[in-house]
Amino acid sequence: MPGHSLILKNSLLVKKIAKELGFMFCGISKAEFLEEEAPRLEQWLKQDRHGKMAYLANHFDKRLDPTQLVPGARSVISLAYNYFPKRDLASEGNYKIAKYAYGRDYHFVIKDKLKTFMQLLTDKIGEIHGRVFVDSAPVMERAWAQKSGLGWIGKNSLLLNKNAGSFFFLAELIIDLELEYDGPVKDYCGTCTACMDACPTDAIPSPYVVDGSRCISYFTIELKENIPASFKGQFENWIFGCDICQDVCPWNRFSQPHTEKAFDPHPDLENMGPSEWKEITREVFNDLFKKSAVKRTKFEGLKRNISFLQT
């Protein structure tokens, strides 16, 4: 067993590397079964809050137990990476896409940083076994981020931070190295219900519970079928994702623009008006969103979303 001074030294090294790689926050928690999350997740799935996102019901045990993803795991390092843009492109009267999708797909940008992180740790400490994750495996990233003190889970189910709001990506390193563990922070939502009140599709039926099957992000990205006609007139011009519950959150007044060049929007994206969106061709789509998360909805999906708003 490593001595406490070595554990502390390694933990400080983790935080130092995180800062050097541009991560906004870094917290560490013990890799153990997420006991409190188990009944919540089970209940959420039973109520079909995941809609057609069947993958969310898979790997139930792996979602709750990091040692099933990384045998011998001792620590979960949670990281936050800012994506708040310098300019909000979601103007009134125009079609809107979520801020996280303005630039290059975050999966690639952050995954590269996580690989570098692992390499730097290994160089300094020696052989470490582990895996890196960025929204691509059954990892309950918000639960881990909360556990390690990066923030608290808000009423809109997103992780909120007192100094930075919620416009950041979460990522994790699950490793077999024992570290000094951080603790959670308190919930600062108080009596505020801004996110619940603002959601046009009533996707937040009660505090801390999001009905994924009613969320605009679900309809415009995940749903592969036609959008139910009963939701007509409720999308407020969102064609890829939705930022409403974040935009109205009082904590997001502390959001600061990111400094990550890869997240800057394609110059042509800033000039897209309603007519450009309506007339978008496959060629323009491929050029604009070549390395973007918007590719996930595919050209046909984006056209479907736009025509749903028009009819």
Q: Which of 135, 176, 187, 264 is catalytic?
A: 135
Report which secondary-structure segment, H or E, holds 132: strand 130-133
What's 58's DSSP letter?
A: S
Question: Which residues of the chain fall below pLDDT 50?
Answer: none
Res 51: pLDDT:
58
- For residue 33, the model assigns a pLDDT of 83
Cα–Cα dist 215/49, whole Å: 10
CB of 99 within 8 A of CB of 240? no
- pLDDT score at 53: 54
**In this predicted structure, what is the pLDDT of residue 42?**
66
CA geometry: angle at 170 spanning 68 and 201, to 5°?
105
Residue type, 215: C
Domain count, the chain: 1
**Active-site residue, 112 included:** no
Structure tokens at 75: 């620590």
H-only helix segments in 23-140: 37-46, 60-64, 106-125
pLDDT of residue 45: 55
Give the pLDDT score at 36.
74
Q: What is the pTM of this model?
A: 0.93
- State which residues form the domain around 105: 1-311
pLDDT of residue 48: 64
pLDDT in tens, 291-303: 999 999 999 999 9
Strands 238-240 and 168-175: unpaired
Which stretch of DSSP H or E encloses residue 96?
A: strand 96-97
Cβ-based neighbour number of residue 101 at 10 Å = 23
